[in-house]
Structure 1
Amino acid sequence: MGNVFLNTMARFVVLVLLLVSVLSVYSAGAQSPEEMQQIQQAQQAAAEQKVDVSRYIQSESRFKRSSSGGTESIRSGSSTGAGGLRPFGANLFDGSFEAERSDGLNPTYRVAPGDKISVQLWGTVELAEVLTVDNQGNIFIPQIGPVPVIDVPATEVNRVVKAKIRSVYTNNVNAYVNLLTATPVSVFVAGPVIRPGQYAGLPTDSILYFLKRAGGVDPIRGSYRRITVLRNNNAVQEYDLYKFMREGRLPSFSFKDGDVILVGEQGPMVTVEGAARYPFRFELTEQRSKGSDLTYFSRPLAKTSHVAITGNRPDGPVSVYVPIAEFENFDIYDGDVVLFNDDLQPQVISVKISGSYIGPSFYTVKKDARLLDLLPYIEVDAEHADIDSIYIKRESVKERQRELLDESLRRLERSVFTAPASSDGEARIRAQEAELVMRFVERARQVEPLGKVVLSEQGKIANIRLEQGDEIVIPLKTDLVQVSGEVLMPQAVVYNPKARLTDYVAWAGGYSERADDERIAVIHANGLTTFFETDESSHWFSSTTQVKIQPGDQIMVLPRVDTKLIQSIKDITQIIYQVALAANVALDSN
């Protein structure tokens, strides 16, 4: 029956692994034929061990296929070049601002045939009409005649039309003229964009609107710095989107029917990594540029001290490491990878003070400082601070305690799930045991170690070297003894120099039904945890006859492990003690 149970468990594990594999595939989304081919190539390459498999792997497809078969602009976070970094400015086209554009007219707009102009007259003559600019560039006002308005700036329309009206009606006629709407125009978008073609818009729409309609600049081939508006085959406006991204400068321009927006081919590219606010691929305006041109857009962090530059030159590959100040005048070329690095080690560390103290709670000391170098500068009230019981909470110790606890929990899990079963009844017992153990493991993993470093013993303090982030704890003197864990009434009891350990337990209501009344943990004020054995036959535990309870101690009665967990009782007991030592918590196994 044991073999049947093991075979059943093996089949269950295989099914779980298959299910995880299927879910991982579907969680990434449907695979296109191109992506499936990439995966097959990667598997073949891994088998041959001839190439780097990682070059076949991408975080997601370069283009997101739409239901109509077209492509949408590249999404944020997609891999679009060396190192998976997007070009600086690519996120300009991630939004949907083209659907939220305004119909307002900018001041530089010039009137064109088809525009609507509102004319209102009152006084001797009354008129309220919306007039359309005809093909000859005029609006016709009754009793006044045609008024030429073609190519008149939007801000001058009112003045030009009112001047014509007053040339006919010199007295007692007031006029108000306003340009209402502009005639839609058709603009061509060409060059390396996602969807080149012809797009309709208003003359006052920005160049970003038309580029967005075309899917945005192609991040692999297109330039964000060399965009030209052509009119009758002549360049009439130049755009550098880097100036808009960095400085907010976007020239105003009025488009006309038949204009062409031409996106240039991508220029030299440099990849920025490391300690920079903008880790992107940046386009240069020249084949050779200075480092200062790059730092202006990439904005290295204040802590950056050095720059690593790798790339190729006509005479071969280069790899240099220079201080940030020298990089400002360093020549960078197309294809370079620039890594901003913080290579200066701090010469000071910060230490926190907690507990009973007077004055600041943070101190900055030299990185090689020791505890006794700092203690003379910490002011305390001698009547309230227990300076003989100082201890430290240290992050590195906390992490190590967490690692040891996780290792013990993994060992416990392995012992439970690999335990043999010789009969159906024993298999059911093992299943129940596994369920209980898993609940215990889940609770144990939620325990947060304290990372205590015990320093004091019999009034002497170890002069250890301090570390960044250390918390020096100065306990508060107290006349109380805390009793916790598996007692009926966990509480604080007034210290009695004549009382024994068992007396304090009795004052807390005695042991609970789940208490391990043979072993008790005492957590001293200096952070040291001692386990005491009530049975005189103990080997490594101290006897309760040797216990000397002091004010500020915490008596912790640990839980008893249910004896029905035959296979794992030893491991669970060890973990309970480990948790009590690392986190001062009495973890129950039930």
Structure 2
Amino acid sequence: MSSTSYALETQQIDKLTEQRLLSAAEQPVSVPASVASPGVNGVEVFGQSLFQGAFRDQPFTGFNPNYQITVGDKINLQLWGAYSFSASLPVDPQGNIFIPEVGPVHVAGVENGELNDFVLRRVKQVFKSNVNAYANLEASQPVKVFVTGNVQRPGLYNGYSSDSVLYYLDSAGGIDPESGSYIDIQVLRQGKLLQRVNLYQFLVTGQMPALQLRNGDSVVVGARHGYVTLEGDVQQSAKIEFLGETTSLSEMLLVAKPKPQANYARITQIIDDRQEASYLPIEQAMQTELHAGAHVELVSDSDINTISIRVKGEVEGPAAYVLPYGATLADLIDRIHYRDNANPFAIQLYRKSVAEQQKIALERSLDALEMEALTRQPVTSSDKASLKDSAAMIQKFISKARKAQPRGQVVLANNDRAGEMLLEDGDELVVPLRASTVSVVGEVVFPTSLVFDEEHTLDDYIEMAGGFSNSADTDELIILHLDGTISRIKERKFNNRLTGTLRAGDEIMVMPKIQAGELQVTKDVTEILYRIAVGTAAVLSF
């Protein structure tokens, strides 16, 4: 998917995602104090420039067809023909205007666009002919509205019932940029919620809720929710507020649109009191979970100059490191701080490209095995049934083997120059715990983990795991070490103490016995089983 596909247009906003971003919430999410100031790095809160006096200086007095006539409004009425009358009539507390010779006409609740026809119909009920009428709204009702909460100047403000919430917020100096929410504004009437207002909806789509305020209504600005700082190749750098505990970059870009050339995202955030950093293609970054206080920088990286490496296990500090392109394993290790129980001598490195190569090699072996099994020709009539059963068994094995997903471990042990190895974007480094157990897996009665004891032999461990199963290969065992290396131990050494060979953290892998009708097939299946065992750290039954 090209980066230009992420230049999101307003009309393409997904309805469900927009609803989640723009809807109001009952409880605000706390924001770390270290990221609470909107002035950090000179980035404003999204919407902060909204209140510069433009709304309070321009009260709305124009024609609004959807405005509903209310008590206190003034209606300009003219009658001509057989009967003439001209006056400005107030809407009384009962919602009526009084027309001479006609009487009271209830206009409260009538939409402005329908007012003239409504009044004319009432006049025609009295004057059947030769009298015409023209009625229009002269002035909306003056009202006083409380504006409070997280605004600059809480107070009681004059206006008209036709004025929008923006007018009253601007009159109060606007939302407090240090603490106010732009997505959680409540309009109360007699203490009850009348309407929730989200200014992002106005800023992004130009929509404002149709709302007529009355005397004594309150506009309450809630406390700011969590937000994400978005900078770089975006149309507008901003701190973007969101609802809930987490959000995603795709939701943030509904508000601050990316520039067409943006193709990578550099993400820094604190998760569980630990700082994490990542550098991802924008397609992948779109669905990354963002927490309150996260900082995202979109970049146009035609020549990739940084890589992101994830670090797991017994380490202190970030879970991901952004390093210069061309960084080595030694560069990364120099930045890592080990925990007390870490085993730095068994560091494991996993690489996507290696996993892909392992998967390709496995698929080729499985294709060759499938071809061999399907093309064997029976020598005698009795061989025909045997080959059919064997082929079915091999096909079942192949089906299971294709589901195996290699880990892509790069073996670092026994190489004095491992530190010079160049790292690749997306590499994962695992620092294991200093182990005290040995695992026995595969074809034993009770696969389990046992406390490591240098005095124990392989026979001892197999016995403690319940002994070999009926389908076990008892001629050879595989020891998979934490560092990715393996040792193949023949049956004659099962009762020996393997000092230095068998270590804490190792896996003793008991492979299945291959029962195939042909030597070549047995060899191929054995090769595949060993490849899966080493590549996935799991024993596949046959």
Structure 1 length as normaliser, TM-score?
A: 0.44
Largest Rg, 1 or 2: 1
Structure 2 length as normaliser, TM-score?
A: 0.48
